[in-house]
Every structure is written in structure tokens, then in C-alpha cells.
Amino acid sequence: GENVEQHPSTLSVQEGDSAVIKCTYSDSASNYFPWYKQELGKGPQLIIDIRSNVGEKKDQRIAVTLNKTAKHFSLHITETQPEDSAVYFCAASRGGSYIPTFGRGTSLIVHP
């Protein structure tokens, strides 16, 4: 089955800095890679996703890059703000009826 590794487990940055979270996956058939943000006491919310026919996708301060050859994808947050502080999960899936496999999460702390 799929195995998703996520690093780092904790990331501490100053407000305004950039933050990068990296994930690797093992199943070369995976073609859908969503990222979720989970605030304390709440369920994960989808913030951005990318499919394997695209190498990069951007939405305002958030971007995701995908390297299918190396089987890794990354989340980039620029100009971080305190409200970006949360746990971020990456996931990989073959899409369709396949259940996504989640990484272990990254706790992002943005210091004002």
C-alpha cells in the first residue's frame, strides 16, 4: 500500500517568513495530493491540492509543488501570519475510490 512520509514534525518561524513542508510517497500510481490544515479542536480543512498532470499550483500565499519522478511534493507558505499556526497534513491517493493516505502532520508555529 501507499506510505506517506512528512517532514518536519514541528516547524517554528517568525511572522513574515516562509514555511516549507515536505512529503514523500511510495505508490507511483498515486495521482492526487491534497493538503489539509487542522486548527486546534477542529477537523482538517482542505487548503490546496494538486494532481499529477501539474507540477505546481498556487493560491495566494500558498503553493504546492510536485515531483512525480522523485515521488515528493511540498507545501510552501509565504509571508506567514500567526493565523497560519496549525497542524498541516499531506496526503496521497490514486483518486477515484481510493482512500487517501495521510502523513503524520506538521505543527507550524508562527511567532508574531
Partner 1 sequence: GAVVSQHPSRVICKSGTSVKIECRSLDFQATTMFWYRQFPKQSLMLMATSNEGSKATYEQGVEKDKFLINHASLTLSTLTVTSAHPEDSSFYICSASMGQGGYGYTFGSGTRLTVV
DSSP code, position 5: E
Amino acid at 55: G
Residues that contact partner 1, how many (by CB under 8 A):
24
User: 23, 77, 105, 108: which one contacts partner 1 (CB under 8 A)?
Assistant: 105
Q: Is 102 in the site for partner 1 (CB under 8 A)?
A: yes
Give the DSSP letter string of 32-96: EEEEEEE-TTS--EEEEEEETT-SEEEETTEEEEEETTTTEEEEEE-S--GGG-EEEEEEEB-ST
Rank residues 52 and 78 by Cβ distance to partner 1 and give the closer one: 52
Q: Is 99 in the site for partner 1 (CB under 8 A)?
A: yes
User: 14, 41, 69, 83: which one contacts partner 1 (CB under 8 A)?
Assistant: 41
State the minimum distance, in angstroms, from the CB of residue 84 to partner 1: 18
